[in-house]
Amino acid sequence: MAYDAQAPLHSPPTGLAELEQRVRDDLACLCYPPANWVVPTRAESGEHVHDVVVIGGGMCGLVASFALLAGGIRNIRIFDRSPSGFEGPWLTYARMETLRSPKQLVGPAYGMASLTFRSWYVALFGNDAWAGLDKIPRPMWMDYLRWYRKVLALPVENDVEVGKILPEGDLMRLTLSGGGARETSVLARKVVMATGRDGMGHPSIPGFIDGLPRKYWAHSSDPIDFEPLRGKRVVVVGVGASAVDNAAEALEAGAAEVRHLIRRKEMPTINKLMGIGSFGFTAAFPRLDDARRWQIMNYSLRTQTPAPRGSTMRVSRHSNAYFHFDAAVKKVELDGEEIVIATPSGKTVRTDFLILGTGFTVDPLARKELDGYADKIALWQDRYIPPAGEENSDLGKFPYLADDFTFIEREPGTAPWLSNIHSFNAGAAASLGKMSGDIPGISEGAAILAREVAAKLYQENFDQHWQRLLDYDTPELRGDEWTASPLPDDQRTFVRKQA
């Protein structure tokens, strides 16, 4: 049964209130938020300088911000371009019925049981409902993230678009626009790009689509209106999760037929990385040498993560759904109002609308925020030459990041400000593993990010912190806790008497 966010809750009305009090109590026990310890910075103009600006108020941005605040870094701003409650993909282009991740994963809870999805769900629906829950409905996950933001009072500023991130001396200037922007730009010492799955690239648009008018096709991340597809023929390119979810939406909207065109010869069936996921894998991946990291990521990309079973059956239960394997798209032409798709086998497919389930491409050069210096960022293709047979041009475009999620200069000395920008998004996967985009490792990633940001901020102000040490003069003792006693004239005399 689909989750209805508007349906009444069958639970005691005090359930969520009690949980929220528990969260507050837990935070108080953890001394959250601690006092700000970062040395204030002022621009030469006197303009306020933020210690950290987080771009993105979705799951990654929320837990990253919580981790920073929990570490006593309180002079921060959080910007998201979406309206409040619609951050991330969950209520926009994500179209799966349920999450792939098992319900018990702690996600962004950051080590607090009271912040887990399970605690939130049980507070609303009870333990019996939790026991009967299979997978988390997608809209429900968004409701949980809304609650997470509210109960932690995270100061996300919505309807704020970050245009460019520009170096300005030792600082970074971010240009802002949108209805929620209070100023046209802000200064920051550190920037965290918590920009999600497409946050270090763009939707992958194959070249065969060139020349086809836009009204005849859409990418799976586009805001597609499926109702006009009723009675139409639809072709979906690909068979990954997004392709399958969009095919299901078209079928449920009444499409006459939906055909998957799949270049692979058979359906991928095994989610390889799920089989090795562990705390050890998350901790060790950034420490592996380049060859081993490439080996793992290249194997994962080549084997491809399959769509979830439930999502695939959501398509296959329709008699007018078709899966065509070994059917890559060679050429696309328009014949009147029909789209004609040629395949390498010589066969053609005619359709009315084309959906590209082709995922996202990681490409820092495409990010408007980095315009003017993205070519100075070191990529994996600049740092590692794989052995014959292991080449992967897509993987080579991932940024080659430092251990703190920051960019590294391709040529030393050409763009030193890159060490102030943290790529806490899907682009970090090749360098640090999946700690900044997927539910399983997001809290571990946020903890590493916050610790590394704190270390940099402290080191950069070491002289001031040293002076704080010298200047600190609050006494622990008042002077009335002891009485001074003179030493005896000859301690040896005392020893002989005792003997």
Contact indicator for 431, 293 with CB cutoff of 8 Å: yes
Residues 215 and 152 in one domain: no
Residues 29 and 177 in one domain: yes
Q: How far is CA 7 from the centre of its chain?
A: 29
> Does residue 243 belong to any structural domain of this protein?
yes
| C-alpha angle 405-408-411 in degrees, rounded to nearest 5 | 175
Contact indicator for 399, 423 with CB cutoff of 8 Å: yes
Residues 334 and 371 in one domain: no
> Does residue 379 belong to any structural domain of this protein?
yes
Compute, in degrees rounded to 10, the torsion defined by CA atoms 394, 293, 194, 224.
40
Residue (of 412, 447, 405, 444) closest to 426 by Cα position: 405
- Phi and psi (nearest 5°) for 129? -65, -40
Residues 322 and 434 in one domain: no
Find the radius of gyration of the CA atoms of the chain: 28
To the question of pTM greater than 0.85 for the whole model, the response is: yes
Domain of 180 in residue numbering reads as 15-201+362-460
d(CA 186, CA 165): 10
Q: In Å, what is the CA distance from 272 to each residue of 209, 234, 428, 446? A: 31, 30, 19, 24
Residues 138 and 119 in one domain: yes
Residues 165 and 32 in one domain: yes
Residues 124 and 223 in one domain: no
- Verify cis geometry, omega within 30 degrees of 0, for the bond prior to 33: yes
**Which of 358, 391, 419 is where one domain is finished?**
358
What residues contact 285, with CB distance under 8 A and at least 6 apart?
293, 296, 432, 433
**Domain containing 166 — which CATH number?**
3.50.50.60
> Does residue 274 belong to any structural domain of this protein?
no
Output the 3-class SS for 216-250: HEEECCCCCCCHHHCCCEEEEECCCHHHHHHHHHH
- Phi and psi (nearest 5°) for 489? -60, -45
The pLDDT of residue 11 is 43
Residues 167 and 60 in one domain: yes
Q: How far is CA 389 from the centre of its chain?
A: 31
Q: DSSP string spanning 376-419? A: GB-BHHHH--PPTT---HHHHTSB---TTSB--BSSTTS-GGGG
Residues 172 and 220 in one domain: no
What tokens were used for 214? 């836009």
> Does residue 471 belong to any structural domain of this protein?
no
> Does residue 487 belong to any structural domain of this protein?
no
The pLDDT of residue 148 is 98
> How many domains are there within the chain?
2
Residues 101 and 148 in one domain: yes
Residues 257 and 316 in one domain: yes
What tokens were used for 430? 């090749």
- Residue segments in the chain with a per-residue pLDDT below the cut of 50: 1, 7-13
Residues 130 and 168 in one domain: yes
> Does residue 283 belong to any structural domain of this protein?
no
> Does residue 59 belong to any structural domain of this protein?
yes
> Does residue 287 belong to any structural domain of this protein?
no
Residue length of the chain: 499
The pLDDT of residue 275 is 78
